[in-house]
Amino acid sequence: MARGSLAVSTVMSTVILTSVLLVVVITASFLANNVVNSQIDNAQFDQAKNVMLALDSVVKKVMFKPHSSGYVRTSFWTTIPQLEETGENLTVLVNGNLEQEVQVNTVKIQGGKGVTSPITEDLVGGGSILLTTVSDSLSRVHVYYSGAPWVSLDYARVRCVYSGTVEFFNGTGYETYNLVEVTALKVAFGASQVQEKASFIVQNTGTEAKQRQFSGNFTIRVQNHEMEETVYLTDLGGDPSHPTMINFLAVGIEVSILGGA
Lowest mean pLDDT among 21-25, 72-76, 82-86, 161-165: 21-25
Cβ pair 58, 72 in contact under 8 A = yes
Does the pLDDT of residue 252 top 80, yes or no? yes
Q: How many residues can be counted in the chain?
A: 261
Instruction: Answer positive or negative: Cα dihedral of 11, 12, 13, 17.
Output: positive
**pLDDT for 112-125, tens place per residue?**
888 887 889 999 99
Pairing of strands 149-154, 228-232: unpaired
Distance between CA 222 and CA 234 in Å, rounded? 17
Distance between CA 115 and CA 236 in Å, rounded? 43
Query: Mean of the per-residue pLDDT values for the chain?
Result: 88
**pLDDT for 162-189, tens place per residue?**
999 999 887 888 999 999 999 999 999 9
Q: What is the number of other CB atoms lying within 10 angstroms of the CB of residue 162?
A: 20
60, with CB counted inside 10 A (0-12, 13-18, 19+), is middle
Lowest mean pLDDT among 2-11, 28-37, 240-249: 28-37
- For the chain, what is the largest distance between any 2 Cα atoms, rounded to a whole number of angstroms? 127
pLDDT band at 31 (very low <50, low <70, confident <90, very high): very low
The phi-psi region of residue 260 (left if phi > 0; otherwise alpha if psi is between -120 and 50; otherwise beta) is: left
Pairing of strands 80-94, 97-110: antiparallel
Q: What is the number of other CB atoms lying within 10 angstroms of the CB of residue 50?
A: 13
Distance between CA 1 and CA 14 in Å, rounded? 18
Quick one: average pLDDT of 250-258?
96
186, with CB counted inside 10 A (0-12, 13-18, 19+), is buried
Percent of the chain with pLDDT over 90: 71
